[in-house]
């Protein structure tokens, strides 16, 4: 009787093992789909991930690729609850996009515990591959260090040598202010002050008055999404630019420029990792994206396409979806797609070129979504610190 029972258990285990092996790869897109960052990434990043899966062929290792998605509402506790269920119950293998730095840091910590891969695209803090790095965490599109080097460095060199910051009051804002301040000071500039505002604020009047009274040449907006749009609109009402101060959108993308319109956004200098009209490959991708969404992609959406596609390439190269084997391939394989050409460092940072743009005047725009004039290319090894210099304890 005991022997028959053990045989039955063994057979059941084999069946369960076979089912687990047969399960396809499952990817999760976790981001803000209804709040301040809904256009910045949102449902458009979901479409980009779907495009990557379709372009890869819809299956890997002979099994179907599934996509799940959820709105974390910029709440780390909600995001962790969703991700834990995805990992423990739904069999999700990798989570990407992860708008909002506080969310991304929380999910990265959970992913480390679960030994699952996370690829951050929409969140900015350089801590993701710095002091908060993990063996399973990656950072794909940009970070606060790169934005500081690009926009902060360029404006300081152009004579904007005194700064005042309007900073979103959470991890992303602190990191962007700190990284940009370091670059400004390294180039001989001064930071005259800063003020912090709540995420998804509707009234920036008191913050802008402080910036105006500082007499700083540059008002650095260490925020993003609708917060950046509202800051710039209200700054115009206060006559800040007309009074001689320059507004610097430290994290602006094509989505925010589109939301502002060229009349309000003209002359802004910004850094992006992707522009739809940069070359033939980016244009081909953007045209397919436009047919699905009615808009051109920004670096978050194009970056989500890239992170999803590269993960699938790594699974195929590894011959398994085992996280440790896939991590190894993600750090070995070069990145070459419509988003960027680059390589992944030991700390999980994907290194690639970024671009300094100036927003065109309405009279210079020749077609819909023709918004940027490229000022410079920022080489990847200048935009991002080396793994050794990143502060990541895994690389010491």
- 54-68 burial: b if 16+ Cβ within 10 Å, else e: ebbeeebeeeebbbb
Mean pLDDT in residue range 264-280: 95
Q: Is pLDDT at 222 greater than 90 in this prediction?
A: yes
pLDDT in tens, 172-204: 999 999 999 999 999 999 999 999 999 999 999
Mean pLDDT score of the chain, rounded to an integer? 93
Q: Does 199 share its domain with 173?
A: yes
Mean pLDDT in residue range 123-131: 97
Q: 390 lies in a domain?
A: no
Specify the pLDDT at position 11. Answer: 38
Q: 394 lies in a domain?
A: no
Q: Give residue 130's pLDDT band: very low, low, confident or very high (50, 70, 90).
A: very high
Quick count: other Cβ atoms within 10 Å of Cβ 323?
Answer: 18
Total domain count for the chain? 2
Q: 234 lies in a domain?
A: yes
Return the bridge partners of 116, or none: none
DSSP for 75-134, please give it.
-HHHHHHHHHHIIIII---EEEE--SHHHHHHHHHHHHHHT-EEEE-S---GGGGTTT--
Q: Does 268 share its domain with 287?
A: no
> What is the CATH classification number for the domain harbouring 197?
3.40.50.2300
Q: Does 173 share its domain with 258?
A: yes
Q: Is pLDDT at 5 greater than 50 in this prediction?
A: no
Q: Does 226 share its domain with 319?
A: no
Q: Does 127 share its domain with 159?
A: no
Lowest mean pLDDT among 9-18, 115-124, 218-227, 327-336: 9-18
Q: Is pLDDT at 341 greater than 50 in this prediction?
A: yes
Q: Does 88 share its domain with 130?
A: yes
Mean pLDDT in residue range 97-106: 97
Q: 386 lies in a domain?
A: no
Specify the pLDDT at position 23. Answer: 73
Specify the pLDDT at position 8. Answer: 40
Q: Are 125 and 104 in contact, with CB atoms under 8 Å apart? A: yes
Q: 8 lies in a domain?
A: no
Environment class of residue 180 by beta-carbon count within 10 Å: exposed (0-12), middle (13-18) or buried (19+)?
A: buried
Q: Is pLDDT at 310 greater than 60 in this prediction?
A: yes
Q: 134 lies in a domain?
A: yes
Q: Does 287 share its domain with 193?
A: no
Q: Does 325 share its domain with 367?
A: no
Specify the pLDDT at position 396. Answer: 76
Q: Does 358 share its domain with 233?
A: yes
Q: Is pLDDT at 296 greater than 60 in this prediction?
A: yes
Q: Give residue 100's pLDDT band: very low, low, confident or very high (50, 70, 90).
A: very high
Residue-range definition of the domain harbouring residue 57 = 25-142+279-347
Quick count: other Cβ atoms within 10 Å of Cβ 284?
Answer: 12
Residue 368 to residue 356: CA distance in whole angstroms: 20
Q: Does 247 share its domain with 149?
A: yes
Q: Does 160 share its domain with 299?
A: no
Q: Is pLDDT at 10 greater than 50 in this prediction?
A: no
Q: 250 lies in a domain?
A: yes
Q: Does 35 share its domain with 113?
A: yes
Q: 393 lies in a domain?
A: no
């Amino acid at each position: 009787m005991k022997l028959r029972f053990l045989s039955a258990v063994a057979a059941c285990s084999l069946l369960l093992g076979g089912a687990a092996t047969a399960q396809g790869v499952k990817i999760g897109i976790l981001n803000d789909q209804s709040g301040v960052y809904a256009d910045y990434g949102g449902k458009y990043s979901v479409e980009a991930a779907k495009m990557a899966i379709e372009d890869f062929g819809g299956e890997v290792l002979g099994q179907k690729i599934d996509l799940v998605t959820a709105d974390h509402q910029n709440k780390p506790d909600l995001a962790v609850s969703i991700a834990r269920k995805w990992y423990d119950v739904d069999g999700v293998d990798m989570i990407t996009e992860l708008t909002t730095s506080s969310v991304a840091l929380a999910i990265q910590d959970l992913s480390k515990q679960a030994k699952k891969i996370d690829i951050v695209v929409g969140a900015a803090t350089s801590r993701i591959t710095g002091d908060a790095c993990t063996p399973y965490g990656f950072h794909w599109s940009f970070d606060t260090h790169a934005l500081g080097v690009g926009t902060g460095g360029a404006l300081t060199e152009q004579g904007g040598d005194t700064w005042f910051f309007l900073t979103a009051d959470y991890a992303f804002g602190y990191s962007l202010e700190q990284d940009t301040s370091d670059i400004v000071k390294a180039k001989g500039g001064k930071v005259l002050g800063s003020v912090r505002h709540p995420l998804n604020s509707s009234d920036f009047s008191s913050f802008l008055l402080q910036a105006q009274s500082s007499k700083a040449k540059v008002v650095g907006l260490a925020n993003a999404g609708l917060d950046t749009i509202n800051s710039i609109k209200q700054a115009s009402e206060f006559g800040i630019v007309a009074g001689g101060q320059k507004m610097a959108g430290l994290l602006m993308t094509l989505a925010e420029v589109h939301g502002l319109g060229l009349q309000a956004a003209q002359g802004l200098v910004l850094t992006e990792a992707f522009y739809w009209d940069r070359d033939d490959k980016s244009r081909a991708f953007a045209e397919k994206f436009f047919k699905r969404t009615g808009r051109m992609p920004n670096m978050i959406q194009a970056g989500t396409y890239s992170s999803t596609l590269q993960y699938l390439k790594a699974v195929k190269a590894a011959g398994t979806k085992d996280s440790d084997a896939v991590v190894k391939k993600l750090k070995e394989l070069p990145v070459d797609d419509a988003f960027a050409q680059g390589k992944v460092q030991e700390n999980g940072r994907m290194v690639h070129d970024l671009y300094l743009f100036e927003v065109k005047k309405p009279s210079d725009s020749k077609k819909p979504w023709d918004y940027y004039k490229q000022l410079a290319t920022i080489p990847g090894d200048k935009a991002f610190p080396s793994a050794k210099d990143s502060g990541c304890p895994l690389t010491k």
